[in-house]
Amino acid sequence: MRRSVAQVRAAVEANLPGVRADLERLIRIPGIAFAGFDADVVRRSADAVAELLRGVLPEVRIVQAGGHHAVIGRRPAPPGAPTVLLYAHHDVQPPGDRSAWLTEPFEPTEREGRLYGRGAADDKAGIMAHVAALRAFGDDLPVGVVVFVEGEEEFGSESLEALLRQYRDDLTADVIVIADSSNWDIGVPALTTSLRGIVNAFVDVQTLDHAVHSGGYGGPVPDALTTLCRLLATLHDDAGDVAVEGLVRGSAAPLDYPVQRFRAEAGLLDGVSLIGTGRIVDRLWMKPAISVLGIDAPPTHEAPNALVPTARAKISVRIAPGDDPKSAFQAVQAHLERHAPWGARVQVTREHDGAPCVIDSTGPAFDAARAAFAAAWDGTEPVEIGIGGSIPFIATFQELFPDAAILVTGVEDPDSRAHGPNESLHLGEFARACLAEALLLQEVADRWGGRG
Ligand code: BES
Ligand code: MN
């Protein structure tokens, strides 16, 4: 039976309290796929997701292809109806600086209409948006569904390609919905049509065989930390643009992102300038960026007066759509080796990478999404945006299923602070995202009529 917008809305709203409770249950499981964190917790997180999916889908399996556990749930399509794949990830980033969190990272807490906790937005709310949409229809779904929730997205989805190949037949779909991006603003939904790729790497510098007295040797002898800092400083030119040759640079569609708004959303301090040149959206979505994420060095409170022999930095390179992670890594590696200060030994090793992508926003799936989002946001049409972040799944999926339409949606907003302390979900926008996804399933079913 076809449901009206009002019926779908009522069903989604009736289920929201349960959805919220289950979201909190997921946030309490700190499943981090990074090396050095407990993989059993990621497994428990997959179990919890599987249990939720068993409540709405007849077939649910926990799967693995050499990496962390993912969950696949399925309900076959009614005759003639399309199949929609719903993607999210259940792993989260490490909590980072615990002293900067106002409440415990893995204890969901509501303040002023937002739910705080690691993963509250990225991407446990994405999982729950899928569950909410499915609960709204119960056994009477207008489309076939495959839910795919992976467990290592935040660590580069290393076994994803193997998983997709192994379960290819189970994952085949006409439309895929990736609920792992951001909306444009509170009250303004978005569809994401481009994402940057990523190359994370370690830079090791060695100048000495062993640590020596900083007074006895300092002056003539370069310590590894100073050397590493000089080396890292070569990655940008004086204007702050990336100085590495051989990376792809493009430009974004003309969407205005006012500098003042961007500065405020970033939390940039007064007087600190933005770096690089060109429009914000170009710099953010279509040009490369390089950042230093961490340095292994003696902690300052216990650093002896000694010259450090070795130092390591972790750098993150965001690459533009059209670039390739392998050649980008080579370009950065060659740059760093060529710029080794003072003959220091420099070694660059890849941690993980993910490809960028561009998504064609024409066709019935996009029309369905625009209609569903506008209805859920009281008439406000979705904006097409790029994202400076990465979702490696998309390029892999595009390669394997070139005919599927891809919709990148999301539950984040500019103040979600994903990956940082005090990550949070705007509960009002989350309710809209749940409704939008339920309406989307109905719209896709309607628009596929007659297309087989
Ligand atoms: N949800 C993010 C992608 C994203 C970033 C959406 C910014 C909206 C705004 C995703 O979970 C993510 O963070 N991905 C990682 C991928 C990487 C580890 C391969 C990222 O971009 O750091
Ligand atoms: Mn995410």
Is 443 one of the annotated active-site residues of the chain?
A: no
What is the spatial distance between Cα 57 and Cα 351, in angstroms, rounded to a whole number? 36
Is 91 one of the annotated active-site residues of the chain?
A: yes
**Spatial CB neighbours of 121, under 8 Å, sequence gap ≥ 6:** 411, 412, 416, 418, 423, 424, 425
Q: Choose, from 22, 24, 91, 323, the residue flagged as catalytic.
A: 91
Write down the pLDDT at residue 452: 41
What is the spatial distance between Cα 386 and Cα 368, in angstroms, rounded to a whole number? 20
What is the spatial distance between Cα 258 and Cα 262, in angstroms, rounded to a whole number? 6
Three-state DSSP at 299 gives coil
Q: Which ligand is nearest to the CA of 389?
A: 1
The series of mean pLDDT values per 10 residues for the chain, 452 residues long, is 92 98 98 96 98 98 97 96 98 96 98 98 98 97 98 92 94 97 97 97 98 98 98 98 97 90 95 96 97 96 97 98 98 98 98 95 96 98 96 92 96 96 98 98 88 44
Write down the pLDDT at residue 178: 97
* Ranges of H-type helices in 138-176: 160-166, 168-171
Half-sphere CA count of 27, side-chain side, radius 13 A? 29
Residue 319 CA, ligand 1 centroid: distance in Å: 13
Same fold, 5-195+357-448 and 197-267+274-354: no
The ligand 1 atom at the shortest distance from the C-alpha of residue 122 is 1
Write down the pLDDT at residue 2: 86
Smallest CA-to-CA distance from 432 within 372, 385, 387 is with 372
**CATH assignment of 197-267+274-354, among 3.90.1150.10, 3.30.360.10, 3.40.50.360, 3.30.70.360:** 3.30.70.360
What is the spatial distance between Cα 447 and Cα 367, in angstroms, rounded to a whole number? 9
Q: Choose, from 22, 150, 152, 153, the residue flagged as catalytic.
A: 153
Three-state DSSP at 345 gives strand
What is the spatial distance between Cα 401 and Cα 168, in angstroms, rounded to a whole number? 9
Write down the pLDDT at residue 1: 74
Write down the pLDDT at residue 167: 96
From 34, 391, 393, 423, the mutation candidate for ligand 1 (largest count of ligand atoms within 8 A of CB) is 391
Q: Which ligand is nearest to the CA of 353?
A: 1
CA–CA distance from 164 to each of 158, 160, 380, 393, 419 (Å)?
Answer: 11, 6, 35, 9, 26
What is the spatial distance between Cα 348 and Cα 71, in angstroms, rounded to a whole number? 34
Write down the pLDDT at residue 252: 85
Task: With beta carbons less than 8 A apart as the criterion, state whether 176 and 397 touch.
Answer: yes
Task: With beta carbons less than 8 A apart as the criterion, state whether 389 and 69 touch.
Answer: no
The ligand 1 atom at the shortest distance from the C-alpha of residue 89 is 11
What is the spatial distance between Cα 130 and Cα 85, in angstroms, rounded to a whole number? 10
pTM, whole model, 2 decimals? 0.93
Q: Where are the domains of the chain?
A: 5-195+357-448, 197-267+274-354
Q: Enumerate residues with CB within 5 Å of ligand 2 (an ion).
A: 122-123, 180
Kindly report the CA angle at 108 between 102 and 113, in degrees rounded to 5?
80
Domain covering 5-195+357-448, topology: Aminopeptidase (3.40.630)
Residues with CB under 6 A from ligand 1: 122-123, 153-154, 156, 180-182, 198, 354, 387, 389-392, 412, 418
Write down the pLDDT at residue 242: 98
Q: Which ligand is nearest to the CA of 410?
A: 1
| Structure-block tokens of residue 240 | 């702050």
